[in-house]
Amino acid sequence: MSNRAVASGKRQAVEPAFRPARAGLKPGATLLALILFGGLTGFATASKPTLKSIGEALICQCSCGQTVYGCNHFECASRAEMNALIEKEIAAGKDETTILQDFVKQYGVQVLASPPAKGFTLAVWILPGLGLILGLAVLIAFVRRWRKPALQPDQSPPAPIDPKLLEAVEEEMKRIAG
């Protein structure tokens, strides 16, 4: 600070000696670039099939209900056979889709861990969502009806009784009591 600023009691803004250089990209642009780069590298790795990626997409045929990669049966012949076939097809240079199609040809659609979203198996993908929506609609309708106040009967006074009828009832009561 200068002597004049000290004498007058005013403070002056001091320029910092070190000012970091600003990056050329803004934070939003940097994030977008990372997402795009990550997506592109993801596509590059997804095209090369591995024993794990294909093994997780197939159900073991030993009736354990697990994927080929996750089958925990000791010396499972089905798992060993399927793993050998997967490794053979990977070595032949086939892509993941072609390998899965070969397994479907050999074992049928039930070999896939997740059914394809076409034809009849499309119902497997659609019905849970429809069931959830329908269940929510029923629940909302039930709650609305439950919370709705009951209708109060009309509070109008009762209609007057015909005097002749009232007289006839009184006479009948006197005759019975008398």
Query: Is 17's pLDDT higher than 70?
Result: no
pLDDT of residue 11: 57
Average of per-residue pLDDT across 90-105: 91
- Residue 147's pLDDT band, with cuts at 50, 70 and 90, is confident
Mean pLDDT of 124-144: 91
pTM score, whole prediction = 0.45
Give the ranges where the chain is alpha helix by DSSP (H): 3-8, 27-46, 51-57, 77-91, 96-107, 122-147, 163-177
- In which band, very low, low, confident or very high, does the pLDDT at 27 lie, cut at 50, 70 and 90? low
- Joined tokens for residue 164: 């002749």
Q: Which pLDDT band holds residue 118 (cuts at 50, 70, 90)?
A: confident
User: Region 117-137: what's the mean pLDDT?
Assistant: 86
Q: What is the pLDDT of residue 158?
A: 72
Judged against a pLDDT cut of 60, whether residue 16 lies above it is answered with no
**Closest C-alpha to 99, from 51, 154, 29:** 51
Task: Work out the average pLDDT over 151-175.
Answer: 83
pLDDT in tens, 36-95: 666 555 544 446 889 889 988 998 988 888 888 888 888 888 889 999 999 999 999 999
Residue identified by tokens 């697990």 is: 66
Considering all CA atoms of the chain, what is the largest pairwise distance in Å, rounded to the nearest integer? 126
